[in-house]
């Protein structure tokens, strides 16, 4: 290149790369605590693409150069704007190193907020903002779901007493708006819901998350909070297992034996999870069955365990159930409403078979499914194959499912297993 273009030509050719690299480097150093994984993913992939094209000998001219530079500018502006003007990424260092046993008792105590005597005590209790304990709850996202609903209700109850942060891998969940106007902070790695990304992007996100999980933990979580609560099994529990001075709590919402039965590479994951759960100070289960199953799978785990039933805000449910008139439910036909993610574990495959047989036997009824998930396509194919489109209806996500439940004659739960059936409670 030097022989063909000379020194000036070579510098001009490399200048866009140099400027982009320097700008990104300076911005990254000055804002390293605020950079999220979305920024890393897009800039890394873009840089990789440009580098490959350079080393392959591709030279950018005219419209090609204009297109690439335009795309680059758009991505950089959007990502930086999202980092600067997005969710609250601010935090301060932990200054409170109280006795670990005391912290264990307190966090287990505050989660029992459903008990009336404690609920009243926490609502009336006033705490100096500077002395509030810092608690971070981690969950995959705040999209519509049972565990997500429970978490939002818990943090809203505890916000007056504790400095609460909710950490999510994927952002833009439907329940996030319920935290607006509260004292609860929100930290997010990828700014959009997982479902909004394409198949390839999901795979890339998974790889990047695993590669940079230690860095994410170092920047956003480690030694910042007094208590770290991994509120859901899987990626969050693995992330929060990193070493820090905080008291660590893992929350188990599912039947772990079924989880490994329906998961690929279950033996390898079981070995990894056994080590991970040993790094926590406490493990909370939403039911006795869930706890007993865990002990059977991990008999050598000696970590303190406790059952705490899911908190249910009954007044909110009663209020929400009368907010609107549900569209689509026929009043003259017996109806069953199911609220569930469209996954294999929820047992909708067997429900559709039972429904088909009942319709064949001329037992007229309608089934309404509220929820979304990866099984939608399979269910739609079955519905079409069986010719039951008018009686087996997929309503999709509903932020407020309670009016549908109120209007239906029956409520259905067909899961193969649940940690604790909050909806029936």
pLDDT confidence of residue 48:
62
Beta bridge partners of 412: 338
DSSP label at 390? T
Sequence-separated (6 or more) residues with CB below 8 Å from residue 104: 247, 281, 282, 304
* Nearest Cα to Cα of residue 237 among 246, 248, 221, 226: 248
Half-sphere exposure of 291 (CA within 13 A, CB side): 15
Report the pLDDT averaged over residues 193-203: 83
| Model pTM score | 0.65
Superfamily holding 324-412: Glycogen Phosphorylase B; (3.40.50.2000)
371: left (phi over 0), alpha (psi -120 to 50) or beta: left
Classified as helix, coil or strand, 392 is strand
105 or 166, greater pLDDT: 166
Q: Give the pair of three-digit tokens for residue 44.
A: 């890394």
Beta-carbon contacts of 153 under 8 Å, excluding residues fewer than 6 positions away, are 311, 312, 313, 316
At 258, the pLDDT band (50, 70, 90 cuts) reads confident
Q: Residue 92 has what pLDDT?
A: 32
Note whether 79 and 39 are within 8 A (CB).
Answer: yes
pLDDT tens string 96-124: 333 444 444 444 444 444 444 444 455 55
Q: Give the pLDDT confidence score for residue 219 in this predicted structure.
A: 87
Candidates 46, 291, 37, 286; CA nearest to 149 is 286
DSSP secondary structure of 97-117: ---HHHHHHHHHHHT-TTSHH
Mean pLDDT computed over 333-359: 91
DSSP conformation letters of 218-265: HHHTTTT-SEEEE-STTHHHHHHTS--SSEEEEEE-S-HHHHHHTSTT
Coil, strand or helix at 150 = helix
Q: Are 191 and 36 in contact (CB under 8 A)?
A: yes
Query: Is pLDDT of 81 > 80?
Result: no
CB 418 within 8 A of CB 310: no
Cα angle at 402 between 355 and 418, to 5 degrees?
60
Q: What is the pLDDT of residue 337?
A: 94
For position 105, what pLDDT does the model report? 41
pLDDT band of residue 162 (cuts 50, 70, 90) is very high
User: Token pair for residue 177?
Assistant: 């708006």
Give the separation between CA 95 and CA 98, rounded to whole angstroms.
9
Percent of the chain with pLDDT over 70: 67
Q: What is the pLDDT of residue 94?
A: 32
pLDDT at residue 280 greater than cutoff 90: yes
Q: Is the pLDDT of residue 82 over 50?
A: no
Do the domains at 100-311 and 324-412 have one common CATH topology?
yes
Comparing 75-84, 290-299, 323-332, 398-407, the range with the smallest average pLDDT is 75-84
Give the whole-angstrom CA distance, residue 71 versus residue 179: 34
Query: Which range (39-48, 87-96, 340-349, 405-414) has the least confidence?
Result: 87-96
What's the CATH number of domain 100-311, 3.40.50.300, 2.40.50.460, 3.40.50.2000, 1.10.287.130?
3.40.50.2000
In this predicted model, which residue has the larger pLDDT, 256 or 83? 256
Q: Which residues pair with 339 in a beta bridge?
A: 370
The residue with tokens 């605020």 is 34
* Residue extents of the structural domains in the chain: 2-85, 100-311, 324-412
Beta partners for residue 187, in sequence order: 167
Terminal alpha carbon distance of the chain: 72
CA–CA dist 346, 254 (Å, integer): 12
Q: What mean pLDDT is reported for the chain?
A: 78
Amino acid 55: pLDDT = 55
């Amino acid at each position: 290149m030097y022989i063909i273009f000379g020194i000036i030509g070579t510098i001009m050719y490399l200048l866009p790369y140099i400027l982009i690299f320097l700008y990104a480097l300076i911005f990254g150093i000055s804002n390293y605590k605020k950079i999220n994984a979305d920024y890393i993913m897009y800039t890394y992939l873009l840089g990789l693409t440009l580098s490959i094209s350079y080393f392959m000998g591709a030279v950018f001219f005219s419209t090609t150069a204009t297109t690439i530079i335009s795309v680059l500018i758009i991505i950089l502006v959007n990502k930086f704007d999202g980092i600067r003007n997005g969710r609250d990424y601010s935090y301060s260092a932990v200054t409170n190193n109280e006795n670990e046993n005391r912290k264990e008792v307190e966090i287990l105590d505050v989660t029992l907020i459903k008990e009336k005597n404690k609920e009243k005590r926490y609502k009336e209790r006033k705490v100096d903002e500077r002395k509030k304990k810092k608690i971070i709850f981690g969950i995959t996202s705040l999209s519509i779901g049972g565990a997500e609903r429970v978490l939002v209700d818990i943090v809203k109850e505890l916000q007056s007493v504790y400095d609460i942060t909710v950490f999510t891998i994927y952002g833009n969940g439907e329940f996030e708006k319920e935290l607006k106007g509260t004292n609860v902070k929100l930290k997010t790695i990828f700014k959009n819901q997982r479902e909004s990304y394409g198949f390839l992007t999901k795979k890339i996100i998974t790889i990047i998350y695993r590669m940079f999980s230690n860095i994410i933990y170092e920047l956003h979580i480690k030694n910042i909070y007094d208590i770290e609560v991994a509120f859901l099994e899987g990626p969050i529990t693995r992330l929060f297992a990193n070493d820090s001075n905080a008291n660590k709590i893992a929350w188990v919402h599912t039947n772990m034996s079924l989880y490994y039965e329906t998961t690929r590479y279950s033996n390898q994951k079981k070995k990894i999870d056994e080590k991970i759960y040993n790094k926590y100070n406490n493990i909370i289960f939403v039911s006795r069955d869930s706890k007993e199953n865990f002990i059977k799978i991990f008999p050598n785990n000696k970590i303190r365990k406790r059952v705490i039933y899911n908190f249910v805000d009954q007044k909110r449910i009663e209020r929400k159930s009368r907010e609107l008139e549900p569209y689509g439910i026929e009043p003259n036909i017996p109806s069953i409403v199911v609220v569930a993610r469209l996954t294999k574990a929820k047992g909708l495959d067997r429900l559709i078979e039972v429904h088909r047989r009942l319709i064949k036997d001329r037992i007229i009824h309608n089934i309404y499914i509220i929820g979304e998930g990866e099984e939608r396509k399979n269910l739609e194919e079955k519905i079409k194959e069986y010719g039951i489109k008018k009686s087996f209806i997929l309503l999709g996500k509903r932020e407020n499912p309670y009016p549908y439940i109120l209007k239906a004659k029956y409520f259905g739960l067909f899961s193969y297993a649940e940690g604790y059936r909050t909806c029936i409670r």
